[in-house]
Amino acid sequence: MNYNAFNLLRQGLSGHKGWTQAWRSPEPKSQYDAVIIGGGGHGLATAYYLAHEHGMRNIAVLEKGWIGGGNTGRNTTNVRSDYMFPESAAMYNFALKLYETLGKDLNYNIMLSQRGWLTLIHDQHQLEGARHKANWLQCNGVDGQIISAGQVADMLPGLAMNSRFPVRGAFLQKRGGTIRHDAVAWGYARAADKLGVDIIQNCDVQGFEKTDGKITAVNTSRGRIATHRVGAAVAGHSGVLAEKAGFRLPLTSHCLQAMVSEPVKPLLDHVVISPGTGVYINQTQKGELVMGGVLDLYHSYGQRGNFPTIEKVITSAVEMFPTFSQMRLMRHWAGIVDITPDSSPILGQSPVENMYINCGWGTGGFKAIPAGGYLLAHSIATGTPHEMAVPFGLNRFRENRLVDEGAAAGIAH
Ligand SMILES: Cc1cc2nc3c(=O)[nH]c(=O)nc-3n(C[C@H](O)[C@H](O)[C@H](O)COP(=O)(O)OP(=O)(O)OC[C@H]3O[C@@H](n4cnc5c(N)ncnc54)[C@H](O)[C@@H]3O)c2cc1C
């Protein structure tokens, strides 16, 4: 059933009882032409583009929990494409462009809100860095500009301009903003299901069967599934899955936390981050303030929050916006993110001939979901990397061709 004004009216008049299920819950088949492991945004987008762009239909997405229950449903929903290196700029900007029409393409409201992404500038050194970045972005055809302290004060009326780290201006990407995160997972799931993709939840991939070094089947908590093409998009558990397939990845897994306040009236129209503290804030359409900071520098698969992070994020948020001090915190959670040495993703061929990987997005892969899915689908369907994915191949670590966005773009998200 299409989501449109006519159907909304029709269902409204009949008590909303006639909406059909957005996707099926089929039993796993014994064989698929391709299996995607991980039902987050990247895995679901991969399945959709495999079906939509490459005409493959006999595909399954295997998710050990529920779709969008990993980092895709746990992130702070920020999107932007202000990365510095040409290869990153091309890929993240491609993702943002796909996001700009995704609601229409999937017939699903992903609540894209291009309200502007502001990175505060606190000192001369950061101003130089921001100028450098804005010039790079222009060379790469990506929008981004420096605005003055006065303009920042006008845009963010509650911001303390002279707190611990005084505000000297900001870097602004107007096309940056937020998207409802679980709508991205649900939208891709519904569209993929419509094209015949089987989305199988509660299906943990526990091992692989191989012949002559190639995968012939995956063993899951719901039985054996034969396949000759495997795509993996399991974020913080990529290292665990790789070990099951017989290889290692240059990744470390860390806990990253976020939190929301109680809902309040609209008071923050943009997304704002302070490089002084690493803390960033946006306000949801429901009125909650979404806040996050830097990751735990301790390696862990423990997907839970801790009080020191709450304290750090809240004190920094209140330092930026003193009026927030009377608000109550409503919820707090964590996800496990996968960090590469150069803070860029790993895309394409794995050391196993018929297994392709999409991982290493770290703290900033939500904004890249359409591109990550598109590029992984290309690798699975054609056996070769898309030219946009070539710089992000696993072999860059062996060949010393790092795309060091950790140094260039700084804090991700
Ligand atoms: C608190 C927080 C804030 C963030 N904020 C932002 C932000 O503002 N902007 C941004 O761009 N990015 C942000 N990120 C990062 C972003 O969320 C991730 O990079 C992105 O969601 C990764 O998507 P994914 O589909 O690869 O992974 P996930 O959504 O984590 O999906 C992977 C799935 O694989 C499943 N899985 C794992 N192992 C197996 C197995 N063996 N068998 C079957 N299934 C398996 C998991 O259950 C999971 O559902 C944030 C992350 C966190 C945790």
Q: What is the pLDDT of residue 1?
A: 87
The residue among 177, 239, 175, 241 whose CA lies nearest residue 206 is 241
Q: Which of 44, 49, 61, 75 to mutate to test the pocket of ligand 1 (most atoms within 8 A of CB)?
A: 75
Does residue 169 register a pLDDT over 60? yes
The string of DSSP codes covering 63-101 is -SS-TTTTGGGTS--EE-----SHHHHHHHHHHHHHHHH
Q: What integer best gives the mean pLDDT of the chain?
A: 96
Whole-number Å distance, alpha carbon 51 to ligand 1 midpoint, is: 22
Q: What is the pLDDT of residue 412?
A: 55
Does residue 6 register a pLDDT over 70? yes
Query: CA-CA distance, 38 to 43, in Å (whole number)?
Result: 5
Range name among 159-173, 274-288, 333-347, 397-411 with the lowest pLDDT average: 397-411
Q: Which of 44, 219, 234, 240 to mutate to test the pocket of ligand 1 (most atoms within 8 A of CB)?
A: 234
The dihedral built from the CA positions of residue 400, 404, 407 and 413, taken in this order, carries a sign that is negative
Q: Which atom of ligand 1 is nearest to the CA of 233?
A: 26
- Whole-Å CA distances, 139 to 90, 144, 160, 363: 11, 11, 33, 26
Task: Show Cβ contacts of residue 369 under 8 Å, excluding neighbours closer than 6 positions.
Answer: 41, 42, 45, 72, 95, 99, 184, 188
Query: CA-CA distance, 197 to 373, in Å (whole number)?
Result: 14
Tokens 């196993």 locate to 352
pLDDT (tens digit per residue) in 110-119: 999 999 999 9
Mean pLDDT of all residues in 206-215: 98
Q: Which strands make up the sheet holding 346-349, listed edge to edge?
A: 198-200, 59-62, 34-37, 230-232, 355-359, 346-349
Rounded to 10 deg, the angle between the 181-194 and 41-54 helix axes is: 30
Whole-number Å distance, alpha carbon 337 to ligand 1 midpoint, is: 7
Q: What is the pLDDT of residue 410?
A: 59
pLDDT (tens digit per residue) in 87-145: 999 999 999 999 999 999 999 999 999 999 999 999 999 999 999 999 999 999 999 99
Query: CA-CA distance, 178 to 272, in Å (whole number)?
Result: 11
Whole-number Å distance, alpha carbon 79 to ligand 1 midpoint, is: 15
The residue among 191, 227, 198 whose CA lies nearest residue 27 is 198
Mean pLDDT of all residues in 388-402: 97
Whole-number Å distance, alpha carbon 394 to ligand 1 midpoint, is: 19
The residue among 208, 5, 2, 171 whose CA lies nearest residue 82 is 171
Half-sphere exposure of 248 (CA within 13 A, CB side): 4
Q: Name the pLDDT band for 11 (thresholds 50, 70, 90).
A: very high
Q: What is the pLDDT of residue 122?
A: 97
In the structure, which protein residues have their CB atom closer than 6 angstroms to any atom of ligand 1?
A: 37-43, 62-65, 69-72, 74-78, 204-205, 233-235, 237, 241, 256-258, 292, 335, 337, 361, 363-367, 413
Domain annotation for the chain: domains and CATH numbers = 29-77+181-250+342-408 (3.50.50.60), 113-175+253-339 (3.30.9.10)
Q: Are 204 and 70 in contact (CB under 8 A)?
A: no
Does residue 361 register a pLDDT over 80? yes
Mean pLDDT of all residues in 58-62: 98
Q: Name the pLDDT band for 406 (thresholds 50, 70, 90).
A: confident
| Residue bearing the CA closest to ligand 1, atom 18 | 365
pLDDT (tens digit per residue) in 216-238: 999 999 999 999 999 999 999 99
Q: Decide: residue 252, CB within 10 A, 0-12 exposed, 13-18 middle, 19+ buried.
A: middle
Does residue 242 register a pLDDT over 90? yes
Whole-number Å distance, alpha carbon 69 to ligand 1 midpoint, is: 8
